[in-house]
A = this chain, B = another copy of it.
């Protein structure tokens, strides 16, 4: 158990010191992420993390000076991971009629594959540790802005103002956030429930998109859309 780490390797088993240090650092981050599946960050102790890795508590300080520092690295890794996803979706050719379906599929597959990161971010986004909550919200703000920029390239949104694109992007991110909440709480192998969640998410996005051509200010130069009369609300 405590022999999982570097300790006292015999010859032939030698590992460069720097490499071993990286391995232990990685093990600390992974152990924390694993433990955070069942507790909040500010109740996670340094001793729990080192115990999980199989090293002595004081060894922690060779890698991080506080738990908060470790937590901020996890935030950074989480969003690096998420940006990779968005870049992949963005660089694919865009089959307009399948955009929503493909994006939701890519997103949910990604959440499944990186579940513990998403769970961590979802939880600590409202968590009790100021520095970590702040870092997450900052990343989400950046993420919404990037999505807004991507959306600007789609033909139906060409004429939209930056402000309205942000509004739309944050609505989409909000909807996806609640998808994440549902997905990370699912027992690992319940494909049916997952399919339901995905279907609802697709419909929500589709509903949003259907409102786009009719949105006030969306096409300032064109005549107003025809079928607005039976809407629920009007611009004051």
A residues near B, CB below 8 A?
38-43, 96-101, 122-123, 125-130, 137, 154-156, 164, 166-168, 170-171, 173-175, 177-178, 181, 185, 200, 203-216, 225-228, 230-236
Contact = CB atoms under 8 A, between A and B. Distances in A.
Contacts of A38: 128, 130
Contacts of A235: 206
Number of copies: 2
Contacts of A39: 42, 128
B168 A207 contact: yes
A126 B38 CA distance: 10
Given A40-B128, A167-B200, A204-B171, A230 B213 contact: yes
B214 A231 contact: no
Contacts of A167: 200, 203-204, 207
